[in-house]
């Protein structure tokens, strides 16, 4: 009876070990594609702002509300796609539930912080720093999940 309760208590930990090679290859390679998409996003931001806080503050500080709406929609859509595609396989790994819960809470908060700080830059330049920090943390979260998933898939 106790063995039956463990999967319900601990979820699907380690399911990736049961995946056939075709699924492992697909997940692994699609995560690489997601990584390339992330690199193109960062390259686009670098091209527009040079990742300079003063340029970021100036660019976002002068945006009109409709530009913010379009910008927010585009980034929310992009972040949702990338992080759902990355988080689903991560949640199927054998890593501790506490780590998975942290990821489940931190990533949406960082996305809201990232997009929200862009809206608030016009009121104070501090939010340009916040935008940069949350963007870097989101990239770090992606890299962490990417690495952990790849390790879990192939170890």
pLDDT at 13: 54
Helices (H), 16-95: 21-49, 53-61, 65-91
pLDDT by residue (tens digit) across 107-142?
999 999 999 999 999 999 899 999 999 999 999 999
Angstrom distance (rounded) from CA 92 to CA 4: 18
Which pLDDT belongs to residue 1?
41
- Our CA dihedral for 36, 12, 20, 29, rounded to 10 degrees, sits at 0
State how far the Cα of 42 lies from the Cα of 36, in Å rounded to an integer: 10
Say yes or no to pLDDT of 4 above 60. Answer: no
pLDDT for 20 beyond 90: no
Q: Please give the average per-residue pLDDT across 57-81, as a whole number.
A: 89
**What is the structure's pLDDT at 115?**
94
Alpha carbon 150 to its chain's center: 16
2 pLDDT band, cuts 50/70/90, is very low
Taking only the tens place, the pLDDT of each residue in 81-106 is: 999 999 999 998 989 999 999 999 99
Specify the pLDDT at position 96. Answer: 93
Please, which residues have CB within 8 angstroms of residue 24's CB and are 6 or more apart in sequence? 16, 153, 154
């Amino acid at each position: 009876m106790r063995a039956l309760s463990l999967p319900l208590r601990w979820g699907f930990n380690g399911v990736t070990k049961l995946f056939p090679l075709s699924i492992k290859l697909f997940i692994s390679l699609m995560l690489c594609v997601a990584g390339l998409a992330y690199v193109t996003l960062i390259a686009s931001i670098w091209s527009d702002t040079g990742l300079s806080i003063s340029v970021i503050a100036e660019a976002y500080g002068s945006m009109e509300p409709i530009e913010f709406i379009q910008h927010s929609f585009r980034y929310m859509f992009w972040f949702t796609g990338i992080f759902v595609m990355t988080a689903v396989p991560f949640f199927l790994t054998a890593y501790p539930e506490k780590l998975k819960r942290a990821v489940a809470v931190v990533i949406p908060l960082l996305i809201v912080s990232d997009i929200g700080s862009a809206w608030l830059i016009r009121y104070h330049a501090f939010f340009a720093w916040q935008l940069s920090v949350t963007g870097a943390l989101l990239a770090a979260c992606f890299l962490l999940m990417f690495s952990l998933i790849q390790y879990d898939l192939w170890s």
